Amino acid sequence: MYTGLLIILVPLFIGYLLPWHQPALLQRVNRLLSLLVYAILFFMGTSLAFLDNLGSNLLIVFKTAFIAAGAILSCSLLALWLLERRWPWHQQRRQQDLPSRWHMMLESLKLCVAVLAGFLVGLTQWAPLRSASTLSEIALIVLLFLVGVQLRGSGMTLRQITINRRGMMVALVSLCGSLAGGVLAAWLLGVSVKTGLALASGFGWYSLSGILMTEAYGPVMGSAAFFNDLLRELASVLLIPVLMARYRSIGLGLSGATSMDFTLPILQRAGGMEIVPAAIVHGFIMNLLAPILIALFSA
């Protein structure tokens, strides 16, 4: 367990400790992160193609993903709704014109194309592709290092995080709701509670959860984790503009780890500039917790 945690935490914190703030460098980091995500998903699809009993395993992948996503999203939304009832977060300004949700969904679906491409190439059973798991591990270490650089480049300090109580509160409630959903998913799927909790700990970070779960449980569960978190992101793209008018905490919590990158433009336009600090704090916390919790629960 500790070895797995070190593999995750060491590159993450090394990247975070480096004082790199140059905008040009951070732009290159963001581009490289995007390429690594596609590479990791390609390798995950390749690993899936080498499975025995492929047809039945694919049914397990999609059944697991949809049941897990339904349970985790339901519990998360309930927990965030209770937070909104107890501590309302009122809208202070009108929504701006929102980016096309279909365009945002298309960007998410491109990730599925990367998995599908890896799967189709893997069906050739080309011998060098059997080392895909090793290549994906190397790519993951580089990805975590770059995520650390990105987190440091966001400019967030511990003081700024603790001051923004709304972002911290939404992150805590979203975390508890997701983990409760993971326990429910474990019961529905007939798997161990640790497996359900690991499935719930991606918080929408599909590339990370997919590869870590693949290493711990194999490509079937890894692919299920990827689609589970992808479904969360797609739900966020569709629901955030609707929720922001009355249920701002729910809209922010639903975005999970993507609130400081992919869904931030939607949150900003739907909720105004005042939601941005809370979104960054929320995303920072979820990005930091996701690899640690997945490693702990999947050990």
- Residue in the block written with tokens 């990105």: 150
- How far is it, in rounded angstroms, from Cα 82 to Cα 85? 5
> What pLDDT is attached to residue 2?
47
> What pLDDT is attached to residue 3?
54
> What pLDDT is attached to residue 78?
95
Q: Residues in the chain, how many?
A: 299
Per-residue pLDDT of the chain in tens (299 residues, 90 and over written 9): 445 556 667 787 787 777 776 777 777 887 887 787 788 778 777 877 776 666 777 888 889 999 999 999 999 999 999 999 888 876 655 555 555 656 666 666 777 788 788 888 888 877 777 776 677 778 778 877 887 787 777 665 656 656 778 888 999 999 999 999 999 999 999 999 999 999 999 998 877 888 788 888 888 888 899 889 888 887 887 788 778 878 889 989 998 888 877 677 778 777 776 787 888 888 888 988 988 899 889 87
> What pLDDT is attached to residue 1?
45
In the structure encoding, which two tokens stand for residue 285, read together? 């916390």
| Residues of the domain holding 195 | 2-298
Number of domains making up the chain: 1
Q: Does the pTM of the predicted model rise above 0.85?
A: no
Q: Can you say how many angstroms the Cα of residue 250 is from the centroid of all Cα atoms in its chain?
A: 17
Return the H-helix or E-strand segment holding 86. Answer: helix 54-86
